[in-house]
């Protein structure tokens, strides 16, 4: 080539370069780069064919170009992102499903393809030969790296798995038509969100195979319920029962009895436990469901909140003694009551600290059930019957002495002359409660169970003086001599007639 030709080629070179640049620019616009080429810096040699014996993440990619392997593994990663993770609660039916991609799933090391594709493509021919020979003898698998978003995992646990939580409910005994039956409780569950997120994240990033659906149990704090069947399930035998009756005419007293019965009912006493009626029924306040009704105070009938409540403690007392539980405290009323015989009552008074207490001194739990309404109140005590089937117990009241009301007379000036009002007194007595035990129909014991003393209160008769302060009339009334009273009243009336 002569100098003139060389000079001509030098002049033509800029024009050729310009044309080539325009052609490349046009190709880039009309024919966008393939995905692998778009990921600048991921694949150093997208056209390298991957050697035989090479796999990535357990997938055979030998014979593929790096570009083809990238597309193939990206498809697999998308499939993996659509796989399901099931988060499991404590119960079998407590399950929530999530897609891996919703948990921040991502393939983190696509550059592993370049590492795998470099085998057998080195500059040194001996190195290339050695690498391909090694792959024949021992194929090589490169790991695919995955990562997840722990905060996304925590978020779905807090939001969607909160329903796995449940309150603890203790086992209980319920009174049904057929008697007392055991009802199992339920344990309490609380999902520990932070610990669960740590556990799930660690599994997904370390142990998950990257292909299959997965199930992971959450970290859950379990609170066992009390009152298991082994603990209380056996206390379904009726040990003692008692019913008393009341008038339905006094609305407030009826409500007090019904309210008190509900407060003392549905209780389980474990062996050694004690039961205080006062603790269960107080405070005697309107906010606790009580009304004003008649009650005894200092040998008089007064209106008080919770009036009539002693019928609750009395009925329970009689059920308790028939179950033969140990009575720790019991006091009789100051005056006899009309709903049980003398010595069968059990008075309570918040102001005086008067209580009825008993203890479960048996080997098994006992269940207290009560119901009030329709003019009757009943208590039943359930447990495990250990007494012999041929053993019978009964109680009866034995009155040792009676004290009948005397009469007191009181002059009242505001009442018309000779008019009367009478307040009936109460008969007093001393009584004992006798417990009788029979075995095979024969009395084996008869003993005094309690002693009770009831006060007598006089019949109070008020006689009007009509404002007359005659000493003879006042003295006659206070003496209680009916003849003298009548005589004095007649004298005053006759005297008043003569004045007219």
Give, for all 500 residues of the chain, the pLDDT tens digit: 433 343 444 344 344 333 433 333 333 333 333 333 334 457 889 999 999 999 999 999 999 999 999 999 999 999 999 999 999 999 999 999 999 999 999 999 999 999 999 998 888 888 888 988 999 999 999 998 889 999 999 999 999 999 999 999 999 999 998 899 999 999 999 999 999 999 999 999 999 988 899 999 999 999 999 999 999 999 999 999 999 999 999 999 999 999 999 999 999 999 999 999 999 999 999 999 999 998 888 777 888 999 999 999 999 999 999 999 999 999 999 999 999 999 999 999 998 889 999 999 999 999 999 999 999 999 999 999 999 999 999 999 999 999 999 999 999 999 999 999 999 999 999 999 999 999 999 999 999 999 999 999 999 999 999 998 889 999 999 999 999 999 999 998 888 887 76
pLDDT at residue number 472: 92
Angle (CA) 271 274 279, round 5°: 150
What are the tokens at 233?
């399930």
Counts for the chain of helices (H) and strands (E), in that order: 13, 27
* Exposure letters 286-310 (e unless 16+ CB within 10 A, then b): eeebbbebebbeeeeeeebbbbbbb
pLDDT value, residue 41: 56
Q: How far apart are the first and last CA of the chain?
A: 177
Predicted pLDDT of residue 500: 62
d(CA 364, CA 457): 45
Confidence (pLDDT) at 497: 82
Question: Quick check: bond before 283 cis, omega within 30?
Answer: yes
Listed residue (450, 445, 341, 432) closest to 392, CA to CA: 445
Q: What CA–CA distance (Å, rounded) separates 473 from 413?
A: 11
483-489: long-range contacts, CB 8 A cutoff, minimum separation 24: 485/409, 489/417, 489/418
- Distance in angstroms (rounded) separating the CA atoms of residues 139 and 119: 12
Cα–Cα distance for residue pair 316/426, rounded to 1 Å: 25
Q: What pLDDT score does 210 carry?
A: 86
Domains of the chain: which residue ranges?
A: 3-32, 44-230, 234-386
Q: How far apart are CA 329 and CA 433, in angstroms?
A: 15
Q: How far is C-alpha 387 from the geometric centre of its chain's CA atoms?
A: 34
pLDDT of residue 212: 92
Read off the pTM. 0.71
* Residue 455 CB contacts under 8 Å (≥ 6 apart), including other chains: 299, 334, 335, 426, 428
pLDDT mean across residues, the chain: 90
* pLDDT for the residue 28: 33
């Amino acid at each position: 080539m002569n100098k003139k030709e060389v000079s001509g080629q030098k002049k033509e070179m800029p024009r050729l370069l310009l044309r080539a640049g325009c052609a490349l620019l046009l190709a880039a616009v009309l024919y966008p780069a393939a995905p692998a080429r778009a990921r600048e810096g991921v694949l150093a040699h997208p056209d390298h064919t991957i050697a035989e014996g090479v796999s990535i993440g357990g997938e055979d990619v030998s014979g593929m170009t790096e570009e083809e392997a990238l597309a193939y593994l990206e498809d697999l990663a998308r499939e993996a992102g659509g796989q399901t993770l099931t988060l499991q609660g404590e119960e079998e039916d407590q399950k929530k499903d999530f897609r891996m991609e919703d948990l921040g799933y991502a393939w983190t090391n696509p550059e592993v393809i370049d590492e795998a594709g470099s085998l057998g493509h080195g500059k040194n021919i001996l190195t290339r030969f050695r690498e391909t020979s090694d792959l024949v003898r021992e194929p090589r698998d490169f790991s695919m790296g995955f990562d997840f978003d722990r905060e996304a995992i925590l978020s779905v646990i807090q939001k969607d798995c909160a329903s796995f939580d449940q309150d603890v409910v203790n086992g209980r005994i319920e009174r049904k038509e057929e008697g007392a039956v055991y009802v199992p409780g339920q344990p309490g569950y609380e999902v520990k969100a932070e610990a669960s997120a740590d556990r799930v994240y660690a599994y997904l990033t370390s142990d998950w195979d990257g292909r299959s659906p997965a199930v992971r149990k959450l970290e859950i704090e379990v609170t066992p319920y009390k009152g298991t069947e082994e603990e209380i399930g056996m206390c379904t035998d009726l040990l003692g029962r008692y019913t008393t009756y009341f008038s339905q005419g006094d609305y407030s007293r009826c409500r007090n009895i019904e309210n008190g019965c509900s407060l003392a009912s549905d209780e389980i006493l474990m062996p050694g436990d004690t039961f205080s009626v006062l603790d269960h029924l107080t405070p005697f306040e309107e906010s606790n469901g009580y009304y004003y009704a008649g009650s005894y105070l200092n040998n008089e009938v007064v209106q008080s909140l919770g009036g009539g409540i002693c019928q609750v403690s009395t009925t329970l007392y009689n059920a308790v003694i028939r179950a033969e539980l140990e009575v720790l405290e019991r006091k009789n009323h100051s005056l006899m009551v009309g709903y049980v015989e003398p010595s069968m009552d059990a008075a309570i008074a918040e102001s005086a600290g008067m209580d009825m207490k008993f203890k479960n001194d048996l080997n098994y739990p006992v269940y207290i059930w009560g119901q009030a309404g329709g003019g009757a109140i009943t208590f039943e005590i359930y447990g495990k019957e250990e007494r012999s089937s041929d053993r019978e117990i009964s109680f009866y009241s034995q009155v040792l002495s009676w004290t009948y009301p005397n009469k007191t007379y009181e002059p009242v000036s505001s009442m018309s002359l000779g008019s009367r009002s009478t307040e009936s007194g109460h008969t007093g007595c001393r009584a004992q409660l006798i417990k009788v035990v029979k075995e095979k129909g024969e009395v084996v014991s008869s003993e005094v169970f309690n002693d009770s003393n009831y006060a007598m209160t006089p019949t109070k008769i008020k006689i009007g003086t009509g404002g007359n302060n005659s000493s003879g009339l006042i003295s006659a009334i206070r003496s209680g001599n009916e003849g003298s009273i009548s005589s004095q009243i007649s004298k005053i009336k006759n005297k008043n007639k003569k004045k007219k």
